Structure 1
Amino acid sequence: MKTHLFAALVPLSFTLGCSALVDLDALSSGGGSGSGSGPVELPDGTLEFVDDGFDGEFELGSFSDTEWAAARLRLKASSLDGAFRSRVFDAGEPVDWTTFTWTPAGPYLKALPDSRGKEVGYAEGSMDMSANVLLLHLDGAGALTPGAAAMDTSGQKSNAVVTAPVGTTLSFEEGPIGQGLGDKLNSYLALDTISGDYDFNQGDFTWALWAKTESNCSGNKVFLGVDTGFSGPHLWLGCAPADFGPCGEGSPEGRAAGTFMSNFDDPSDGVPFCGASQINDGQWHHLAAVKKGHAQAQVVLYVDGLAEATLGTTFNTPIFLTGDDFSVGALSEGDFQAEGAYDEVAIWKRALGPDEVMSIYRRGGARLALRVRACSDPACEDGDPPFVGADGSDGWFVDPTGTLGPPTDMQLVVPRARYFQYEASFEGYREGDGPGLFAVKVHAKR
């Protein structure tokens, strides 16, 4: 049976449309040899060990469904998960292993930046959160009760309030990035729209979120939506059954779908849309709907980073939503309630491009984590000592949320020893779409 490299990070029940399992038994017990590129001694006496190329570095490690290609360590094209165990670094004598860092190709397992931050330093996937008006990470522990708030970290303070019958609780669960929030059929989150951030007027906007549901989607189920009443905007993103108009006969049940209209009573206004993929399979999927233009507009629906519907349309009325009931898990005032879980709910007052949408998806759909060990024996035999993560725990090192760039030196909590080794876990949502690792660096002091 396969062993899950993220066992201390997320439970085995977490799924992203793939097995999410990595075969550590396929790795040699001790990884690679201790030969290869040796340490560099820095001016302060610190020893610096680096793997940032294949020859004499990554090539000396052990590969399980991973490879060195395109100047990075990555999954093989046919693999959804894999692992790499490094060569054994030899300091020549017992030393204190002090800091550890790695250079990922992009921000993996990392929440979107707060307060309209702009990421820098990644080779790919850096996110610019300009014009972001809502960001719900939905992280937490325990449960939320009616009246409790889920905090908006966009900087615009559009907090979401749990709306549900007395005695109802909404529980946090493992999400694609950190935690997600489970939503019951009789509950939803009501967004505060008093600030004017939801007055889109004739401008562009983007809605995005991770969602997981097993609902049959009959009658349409709304993940994010608002309806202002007669002659007003009718906007929603969620899932629909096969008989929803734009889906077409013979379509699979439970497809991503929605409607963007500026005037619900005008049949010439706006457009309904439907994707191609089934999303009510109990696995996490990333959805995004982008409106660009107004009198001559385009609406694009993305599922898991890929455009599945692109439609031209006309909006005849400006869209103003200040003071209206904008909801997560339902349309206004609890209509068309959905049942499932949500994570990283975000709205922008601009049209995100295809690369940006793909980058958001890959933050949770491509997963990279590492752990380390210090050994007194040059073989670093499997399990003796065990690998550890941050703080010396049995977890993993992941790219820290709350920073605007790649990981920097992270403190190690390992025993004083002569030898050092690391291993990395790679997971991808689709074949050929996993994370990339450029380099690993570790420091030690005598």
Structure 2
Amino acid sequence: MPIGEFGGAPPLATEGSPALTTPMYWMYEMAHASLNPARAVTDAAKMLFQNPLNPWSQTEFGKSVAAGCELFERTTRRYGKPEWGLDSTEVNGVRTPIEVRSVWEKPFCRLLYFDRQLARPLRSPQPRVLIVAPMSGHYATLLRGTVEAFLPTHEVYITDWSDARMVPLSEGRFDLDDYVDYLIEMLHVLGGNVHVIAVCQPAVPVLAAVSVMEAEQDPYVPVSMTLMGGPIDTRRNPTAVNNLAAERGIDWFRNNVITKVPFPHPGVMRDVYPGFLQLNGFISMNLDRHVDAHKNLFANLVKGDGDLVDKHRDFYDEYLAVMDLTAEYYLQTVDLVFVKHALPKGEMTHRGVPVDPSKITRVALMTVEGEKDDISGLGQTEATHALCSSIPDHRRVHYVQMGVGHYGVFNGSRFRSEIVPRISDFMMSAASVKPSLAAAAE
């Protein structure tokens, strides 16, 4: 499956991306709506040729028609936000049900808690983990496997970012400063004694939020922060994504990929980087592999290979579900992170105040990178250690997972077997030697 670009930094437009004006999104909506009758016809045809009472359903021709109908429907539909599908986990050998509930909410994000309905209290409390999901086009459910891996041994919270087209214009803007404010407020709501994990893009705002909190001697700083495959310093080992942003500059993005949300969405007239254009960028990065995957879907539908069909459906139900990003957040991220390299240069500010990672003294630091990461190149996340110069050496760890790309840093078998245990050990070690505010001030 094409997963190299899955869950990366805020997606940049590709060479084939069209210039956008405000009517473009509206034309897209009208084109999508115009296909509704065709989708209805193909759905009916699919049901007809899959009906066991229809003798054609058992023929090569009938199966091919049904497969073609499904392929048409899947390639023309708009995919909604996927479900978490995490109903239970195993805690100390006991299958335990899970209730996913919101514990904090603002217009552009909810903080979700995976509440494990324990039959009996644990002998000792388990680490509380706030996973900061990427706000980069896909929904937080992209990290379903990440959450699932931590649930047996941790209390897990995750940021559930909102689709900008669903947020009314009356709710105001959302930019990188607001992102940092949201993270600080979440840490306050959690009341301390929590570990933060940033997956890819959030590495920059998480580092900024912790830096701001430390500078203000905030008592609710996290015990530790783990940054995974994040673009802290994209001057190191730059990837194609990094080079594209540097070559085009922020004005190109502002003039070519920003448009307004059309009616009838709640966020009508909000300036956004639209999900359908992001999806065009995602797919064009590995177009041949996507085409082959859908050819294989057709063949497997005709053969009746249910396992491979289900695998394809599960992947693309997630992959093709994208959300709009607010224009101000997207443009700031591209400009500050990929064009100006503001954080590693010491030029990043939050609400006009410099962001200084050297102020961090109480928070342990772990960075994780993938050997074959083609989104955040090797060394880009490790650069955090040079910026956080005041963290003692015994409270910092850097780990490179061999043999994995970007997606493998936060999901998959090696993530579960090799990365999660190391992060858990790091958290336990950080909690056991947590310095006090007074000691840090000295």
TM-score using structure 1 length? 0.26
Flag the structure with more relative contact order, 1 or 2, with Cα contacts below 8 A and sequence separation at least 6: 1
Q: Which of 1 and 2 has greater Rg?
A: 1
TM-score using structure 2 length? 0.27
